[in-house]
Amino acid sequence: DYATLLRVAKVSNANKIDRTPMQSDALDSKFRNKKRTRILFTSWQVAELERLFAEQKYVSAQERSVIAMRIGLSPTQIKI
């Protein structure tokens, strides 16, 4: 009957609500573990990069390697 269906629906919804925080916590920790660490640049490195890119908008892979070695970064950190 209708009353029984309502009780079943309420129990079913309550179970979903109870499980949701655990599921979201599991998803949060999963994404948190995959998140890459941000690399911070020194103010000198930022100023040097800004100066270089103001002079030349695009740099070749070879130029990127030279710049990276000079200011203590990896070539992938120079890539924009």
Q: Across all residues in the chain, what is the average pLDDT?
A: 75
Question: Is 23 found in the same domain as 49?
Answer: no
Q: Note down the domain range covering 51.
A: 43-78
Question: Is 26 found in the same domain as 49?
Answer: no
CB 50 within 8 A of CB 64: no
CB 77 within 8 A of CB 39: yes
Mean pLDDT of 6-14: 54
Name the residue among 44, 34, 33 with its Cα closest to residue 70. Answer: 44
pLDDT score at 78: 85
User: What is the chain's percent helix, strand, coil content, to nearest 5?
Assistant: 75, 0, 25
Q: What is the CATH number of the domain that holds 59?
A: 1.10.10.60
The end-to-end CA distance of the chain, in Å, is 65
Mean pLDDT of 2-24: 54
Question: Is 47 found in the same domain as 20?
Answer: no
Question: Is 31 found in the same domain as 5?
Answer: yes
Mean pLDDT of 54-72: 92
User: Rounded distance, CA 22 to CA 25, Å?
Assistant: 5
